[in-house]
Amino acid sequence: MLIKKSCRDVEKNNSPKYVGKGKITSNIFESYFRVIEEVLIEKFIGMDGEDTSLYELLKNHIPVLTDIEYKKEHRNILEYLLKQAKKDAVKLLKENISAN
């Protein structure tokens, strides 16, 4: 699946920057990509144009997460990684369409 590939590629490329440098734990980083994959599947496969709350989705994976902690420690990174994964997924989808 192209969405999974996009997520894995972005995860692999960014892991040294975030996990490798100790900015976030590997468990939280993995949670980010579960959320990103959920959002992209809903957007591209579910055809849901509505923006899903990243905070609520991440809270499903990190139940003790507060709104303040999310905004302070997670939002910027998660939104940046989502933007990268979305861009990569669109690129792969276009390449796949033009190849067929």
Tens digits of per-residue pLDDT, 55-78? 999 999 999 999 999 999 999 999
Q: Which amino acid is residue 42, in one-letter code?
A: E
Tokens standing for residue 9: 């590629």
Distances (CA, A) of 30 to 34, 89, 95: 6, 18, 27
Its pTM surpasses 0.75: yes
Give me the helices (H) in 1-100, please. 2-18, 26-44, 54-61, 67-69, 75-99
pLDDT per residue over 43-52, tens digit each?
888 776 566 7
pLDDT at residue 84 is higher than 60: yes
